[in-house]
Amino acid sequence: MTVHIKTADEIEKMRVAGRLAAEVLRMIRPHVVPGITTGRLDEICHEYIIREQDAIPAPLNYHGFPKSICTSVNHQVCHGIPGDKALKNGDIVNLDITVLKDGYQGDTSKMFFVGEPSIIARRVTQISYECMCIGIEMVRPGVRLGDIGFAIQHHAESNNMSVVREYCGHGIGHNFHEEPQVLHYGTPGTGLELEPGMIFTIEPMVNAGKRHVKLMPDQWTVITKDRSLSAQWEHTILVTADGHEVLTRLPDDPL
């Protein structure tokens, strides 16, 4: 496993890309309402990234992905393709944004409530958020990825949720996906030891039911096999000399 340690110049470029990705999620928030289609959300984000940010929506045409953002609704786990589906009251949706600016990437996602969600929808969304926060707060030099994965898995399972294992966080920089793979389950004391200058995502996918997933015929959209609700949050994280920096967090935003 070769993990690229970022230079000071690369880190600064990734701060910019991360801030832009976070700004897209803030911009789109008022548009996530009953009746809007996921395709329209994609159009709004695409125009904002291209015209307002003078940047590139990294998912577009990435290995053939046809849209500029991912929209995963209810039992869709990840990589949902925006389309004609209209959101309705009670839906939960993950919007996954990756912005490419000056050759470097910022990758982040959030869950959004459409109208008034159910109790279980609120719960899986909250537990997935807590899992991400637990993982991020552990990031510092000397910690192993297995420690982080174990902590995330333990929190989800102790709350009667499950963690998807087929998809994981990843290194990021000049490339959309780099080493290391950041699993959201694991064994303490195992895995890569973190060093300053590493940059990667933490993005646990947490299911209200069982962990098993299924790839749909479009070869992108992943759903829960039991059709239970799924939720995910994601940030891009820099390992610093004494801890970490969340590159996709705006200064006045909560984690």
pLDDT at 150: 98
Give the separation between CA 155 and CA 127, rounded to whole angstroms: 8
Give the separation between CA 171 and CA 229, rounded to whole angstroms: 27
| Model confidence at 212: pLDDT above 80 | yes
Once rounded to an integer, what is the mean pLDDT over residues 179-205? 98
| Model confidence at 149: pLDDT above 90 | yes
Would you place residue 13 in the very low, low, confident or very high pLDDT band (cuts 50, 70, 90)? very high
pLDDT at 108: 98
Once rounded to an integer, what is the mean pLDDT over residues 148-158? 98
Once rounded to an integer, what is the mean pLDDT over residues 60-74? 98
| Model confidence at 105: pLDDT above 90 | yes
CA-wise closest residue to 72 among 252, 203, 195, 250: 203
Would you place residue 119 in the very low, low, confident or very high pLDDT band (cuts 50, 70, 90)? very high
| Model confidence at 199: pLDDT above 90 | yes
The whole-model pTM stands at 0.97
pLDDT at 238: 98
Return the percent helix, strand and coil in the chain, to nearest 5. Answer: 30, 25, 45
Question: Looking at the domain that runs over 8-246, which CATH code has it been given?
Answer: 3.90.230.10
pLDDT at 20: 98
Decide: 248 and 108 in contact? Cβ < 8 Å: yes
| Model confidence at 1: pLDDT above 80 | no
Query: What proportion of the chain, given as a percentage, has pLDDT over 70?
Result: 100
pLDDT at 251: 92
pLDDT at 77: 98
pLDDT at 24: 98
| Model confidence at 229: pLDDT above 80 | yes
Tens digits of residue pLDDT in 170-191: 999 999 999 999 999 999 999 9
What's the mean per-residue pLDDT of the chain? 98
Would you place residue 4 in the very low, low, confident or very high pLDDT band (cuts 50, 70, 90)? very high
Rg (CA), the chain: 17
Question: What are the phi and psi torsion angles at 239 (to 5°)?
Answer: -85, 120
pLDDT at 116: 97
Give the separation between CA 141 and CA 144, rounded to whole angstroms: 9
Bridge partners, 144 (sequence order): 193
pLDDT at 51: 98
Would you place residue 2 in the very low, low, confident or very high pLDDT band (cuts 50, 70, 90)? very high
Tens digits of residue pLDDT in 238-253: 999 999 999 999 999 9
Once rounded to an integer, what is the mean pLDDT over residues 27-43? 98
Give the separation between CA 182 and CA 88, rounded to whole angstroms: 33
